[in-house]
Copies of this chain bind each other. A is one copy, B any other.
Amino acid sequence: MIHQFPVRVYYEDTDMGGIVYHANYLRFIERARSDWVRGIGVDQNAMREAGLIYVVRRIEADYLAPAKFDEELLVTTRMHKVTPARMTLQQEVSRAGQPLFRAEVTIVCMTTTGKPARLPAEIRALM
């Protein structure tokens, strides 16, 4: 699957270097993941009430070129691998086709009390 998600750069995203603050790319790609799981029918509010949350386990991120205020960016998300215990996604932030940021993100499932959990089978099926 490939999922695409637009992000506009606002004042809050920039820093005094005049570019997007590096940590904010993680916020951009997390919005894309939430949009994607909502789109395939996963209700994260319901999951959480049932005691399960998604947690980022590992991120490898490369910053290729800076983004600036008011630019419209595109987050492209590709499922790389999914097992009962974890999923790995490849995510890229680009502007007009130019890649600015690339990350490989490993997500695991946890109980809200902090214990490791399996990704629910019906959710893995949706993916």
* Chain A residues proximal to chain B, CB less than 8 Å: 8, 10-12, 14-19, 21-24, 26-27, 30-31, 34-35, 38, 43-45, 48, 53, 55-63, 65-66, 68-70, 112, 114
User: Are the C-beta atoms of B17 and A55 separated by less than 8 Å?
Assistant: yes
Q: Give the contacting residue for A69; candidates B16, B19, B68; CB below 8 A.
A: B16
Query: In whole angstroms, what is the CA distance A66 to B23 when docked?
Result: 18
Q: List 24 A-B contacts (CB under 8 A).
A: A8-B31, A10-B27, A10-B31, A11-B15, A11-B30, A12-B15, A12-B21, A12-B23, A12-B27, A12-B30, A16-B17, A16-B19, A16-B48, A16-B68, A22-B59, A23-B23, A23-B30, A26-B26, A44-B69, A55-B63, A57-B62, A58-B60, A59-B59, A61-B61
Query: In whole angstroms, what is the CA distance A98 to B21 when docked?
Result: 28
User: Are the C-beta atoms of B11 and A34 separated by less than 8 Å?
Assistant: yes
Copies in the complex: 4
Chain B, residue nearest A102 (CB): B58
Q: Report whether over half of chain A's contact residues are helix, strand or loop; otherwise say mixed.
A: mixed
The smallest beta-carbon distance between A112 and chain B, in angstroms, is 7
